[in-house]
Structure 1
Amino acid sequence: MLLHLDRTFESADAEAEHRIAELYREFGGPLLRHIRRSTGNDLQWAEDVVQETLVRAWRNSARLQWEPGLIWAWLLTVARRIVIDGRRRRSVRPMEVEAPEIDVLAVPDGAERSLSAIVVADALRSLTEEHREVIEQTYLRDRTISEAAEILGIPPGTVKSRLYYGIRALREVLRDKGVAG
């Protein structure tokens, strides 16, 4: 009697394997295409989802209804749930990256900014007093043209003109120093 039961299980397993092979031939390609869209076109992830879906179909083969429309709907549902579970897992666990090399890691220390400030201050000293004053009032003290004109006691049009020519002269000095392109 026990031998007969073993043959029954053996034939059930063989039948399930045959059905799964059939299932893969018929639905493997369409399922992979469908799942690739769900995985953001990640082929490796999509292949893993298809494989896991077919493994679950094999595990549940005794309970499945093998009509093409019903099995396709079941496969899509299972695959969608696997993708959702994968997204949840990925969102909970941060992406693993290699630790950066300590020697390569740049640490901002403000030296470049300080050096730039020194170069610009030196370039400003080479300008005429009129140009330097309008640049100082508008750019360095963040005043409007009208405010700078009032403080300097000159018309706003003069401030604009001096600012235009002062900036041109400043760019020229910085270009000569090799700072500006």
Structure 2
Amino acid sequence: MSARRDKNMELALDLPARSTGRERQPPAAEQCSDGELLHRIAAGDREAFDVLYRRFVRPVFALALRRLGDRGRAEDATQETFASVWRSAASYRPERGAGAPWLYAVARNAIVDRTRARSEPPIEAPDEPSSELGPPEEAERSWLAWRVHRALQELPDHERPLLELAYWSGLSQSEIAEFLNIPLGTVKTRTRSALGRLADALEELE
């Protein structure tokens, strides 16, 4: 009885080693979603990084060039974007949304950094309405910028990047679909939803 039990245990232990050539292997990097690639990049997977780079280098560069208007600065921003992706991929949280919007946020930060390096700093939305006295037009502009900024922050993570890419970066819906790697129909649907939410949020802030 003991011998039979030992034999059964040996057979059980042998099962994983009986290769049929059909073991489940990790999918090739080319077949991974953007989020899966970021997860693998966080673990130091260079192949996953190369695939993500090939997917997004063109739209990131186009975004930077459109925003900065200078090829050299756009190339610098693109390089910094992917350097940041390699360094900070572990901060990506799939439960908060797909990988492309996260990468867009990284690209946006890199582009803003390059914009700030200009002799004339960009106008950023204020965190609070300006308390400084000035002409009525400037006060109204400050208040409106603050309201829009606050309302945008209330949008879901899967909708906010669409409006930022459309209005901050001036991309068309087709370009947004390419950048975020989602269908054009999804861009249109989410944009309509985001605009509706934005209008509601702005009314609440009046």
The TM-score, its normalising length taken from structure 1, stands at 0.38
Between the two structures, name the one with larger relative contact order (CA 8 Å, sep ≥ 6). Answer: 2
